[in-house]
Structure 1
Amino acid sequence: MKRAAVVGIVGGVAALALAAAGVWWFTSRPPTAQAAAESYLRALETGDVAAIAGLRDDDLGADAQSLVEEAFAGAASYVSDAEILEVRAGDDGVAAVQAEGLLGGERHTLSFTMRDTGDGWKLTGDHLGVLQAETMLTSVPAGDAIWVGGALAPAATELMLLPAVYDVQAAPRGILAGTATAAVSTDAPVAVTIDAVLSPEATALAQAQVDAYADACAALAASIPRNCGLRVPWAADLATLDSIAFRIDEHPVIALQEDAAGFDATGGVIVATASGTTHGGESASFTYRADDWALRGSIRFSGDDMILAVR
């Protein structure tokens, strides 16, 4: 009786073990292409960057991947009402998915392919849409960058992005004002032009740069600094110059050209005291004053910066 009981118990354990193995095999199988595609569409709808990253099986490179993720995280709105129209799985382990969804209130195609990696179905590189954007200021291209969602990206370049609606802003933000909206999907490349203007804050920001530059020009020196708009006639009174000290009474006031091609900072007042040896061989100091001190130069926009170059 005891032996039969033992055999019965062992048999029961074996049956349970076989059942558990069957459950593990079933639950650990890679999901179907249909299920993986549904997961991707739900992640697009919710803006789930992490979920989409887990479904990808391609290598965009670190910079391109950062752009994709940062832009998508800051998108204006995401896909809604997405649905799969067709999944065509081939013998090569690749499935072509045709789907569509609402972007900005309009239906758009969402086509992509998924590959059976042996560890689940993963997105390949053709799930991204294409956006190209450029900033125009008084009908002239301005700047080498634009903001797409939460990413600073190159201007006038084809950018690979996840399907979403993006606000595209002129860069530098806070200096150039202008925004366009782009609904990016896989149905066709999107091109937008941002008609920008100088923001009200641009002049104040440029003035701060000019003030800092003027202060550097006014540092104690052994000679008149170059590219500072300064003319000190010390040679009329001194044979040799030992040092020259400056005092700014009023900084030049900047005005930006409407097309941002250049600037004029005028009306500055500066006092210079030159010390050295006179023509008679004596040590002496002479003071000079300029009531029309001016700084002029060019402007360019690089990345998210405005760069002033004094000429």
Structure 2
Amino acid sequence: MKRGAVVGIVVGAVAVVAVVVGAAVWWSSAQPQTVDAAAREYLRALEEGDAAAIESLRDAPLDDVTRSAFASADAYIVDPRIARVDEDAARAAVTADAEIAGERRKISFALEEAEGEWRLTDDIPVVRIETAFGGSPGGGDSVWIGDALVGTADDVGLLPAVYTVRAAPRGILAGEVRAIVAETGATVELDTSLAADAASLAQEQLDAYLDGCTAPAAAVPDNCGIRVPWAADLASLERIAFRVEQYPALRLADDGASFEATGGILVATATGQTRGGELASFTYRAEDWAVRGAVRFTGDEMVLSVD
């Protein structure tokens, strides 16, 4: 009997403790979130590179570019500390500081209260990238910020962190610069140049274009640098076939704005009606096949426009 009574008391005690713990959990979860707690959670998420945690403090998801750039940032803030919280009704301005790129820098952000929760506002630091090519205007219409492709005419929202801005298109233009984002945004200047493999990549693109130019056809193609004097021997042309013996060798202009490709060797065989009404074929060989045109860099691509 005594043994049974002891067991019953122990079971009852556990049940009572469970009820008390449950009540404590409910009381804690029912308390309004403090502005200080929300601010510390945001700073912790910045320190850990936790975009999901930052989004949980917002009413809307982060912009795709902002999220992608933050996920691929070079470094995040270190040792954040809240310096001041100015709370006015349902809004609070938070001033903090943290180590970013080896220096302590100010970080400011705002929170708004709604239904017992403090939420981040949308005023993320804005960065604009300006590019040049060899110190002159140019350099493409886009850059890479981490893994995010960004237009140079766009104002980009970036969370406090350290980013590497790289020239685009990759492999065509070279150049990079570090962007340190803290309290406010900034304008980042990126000087670009032709990458070592730019000409060879452009050559591959041009060769593919010229393959289309030299497919069998019923007429001499335009914008291909091809001249075939078939009219000297034929009254009308029915078809023409080409054989490329050597593609024109491409050279990009020093300013990256144009190209010329020279020294190509092309053989063309034209078939048609002679002036006597007979079907005949004549072969022509050109050892000065050349094409020229403009170059532009858009997005992550280089576009050659043949004159």
TM-score normalised by length of structure 2: 0.90
2:52 corresponding residue in structure 1:
50
Cα deviation for residue 16 of structure 1 reads 7.6
Corresponding position: 1:137 with 2:139: no
1:227 aligns with: 223
**Could you tell me the percent identity over the aligned residues?**
50
Matching residue of 1:70: 68
RMSD: 2.1
Q: Give the match for residue 301 of structure 2.
A: 305
| Distance of 1:29 and 1:273 partners within structure 2 | 87
Number of residue pairs the alignment of both structures matches: 295
- After TM superposition, give the deviation of residue 58 of structure 1 in Å: 4.3
Q: Does 1:123 align with 2:120?
A: yes
User: 2:25 and 2:104 mapped to 1: Cα distance?
Assistant: 41
Q: 1:34 aligns with which of 33, 36, 48?
A: 36
2:278 to 269, 282, 288: 282
Q: Given the superposition, is the C-alpha separation of residues 19 and 262 from structure 1 closer, same or farther in structure 2, using an over 3 Å criterion?
A: closer
2:185 is the alignment partner of 1:189: yes
CA–CA distance in 1 between the matches of 2:51 and 2:61?
A: 16
Shift of 1:14: 10
Amino acid at match of 2:127: L
1:178 is the counterpart of 2:180: no
Find the aligned partners of 1:53 and 1:119 in 2 and give their Cα distance.
18
- Does the C-alpha gap of structure 1 residues 228 and 19 become closer, same or farther in structure 2, counting only changes over 3 Å? closer
1:18 deviates by 7.8
> Which residue of 2 is the match for residue 89 of structure 1?
87
Query: C-alpha distance in 1, partners of 2:185/2:121?
Result: 18
CA shift, 1:120, in A, is 2.7
* TM-score, normalization by structure 1: 0.89
Distance across 2 between alignment mates of 1:303 and 1:204: 19
Structure 2's unaligned 5+ residue stretches are 1-14
Structural mapping, 1:206-225, within 5 Å: 206-225=202-221
- Find the residue that maps to 1:267 and give its secondary structure: strand
Aligned residue in 2 for 1:203: 199
Alignment of structure 1 residues 161-172 onto 2, 5 Å: 161-172=158-169
Is residue 271 of structure 1 aligned with residue 262 of structure 2?
Answer: no
Deviation at 1:130, TM superposition (A): 1.8
Among 93, 99, 112, the residue aligned to 1:102: 99
Runs of 4+ in 1 over 4 A off after TM superposition: 13-19
1:7: which partner in 2? Answer: none
- Post-superposition CA distance 1:256-301 (Å, at most 9, x none): 0011110001111000000001011111000000001011110001
Query: Matches of 1:51 and 1:19 in 2, distance apart?
Result: 27
Distance 1:292 1:159, change over 3 A: same
Helix, strand or coil at the partner of 1:157 = coil
Summarize the alignment of residues 236-275 of structure 1 with structure 2, pairs less than 5 Å apart.
236-275=232-271
Deviations 1:111-162 (Å, cap 9, x if unpaired)? 1111223263211112x21211122113122211111122101104321110
Q: Aligned partners of 2:140, 2:114: CA distance in 1, in Å?
A: 42
Give the Cα separation in 2 of the matches to 1:165 and 1:16. Answer: 48
Structure 2 CA distance for partners of 1:267 and 1:121, relative to 1, 3 Å:
same
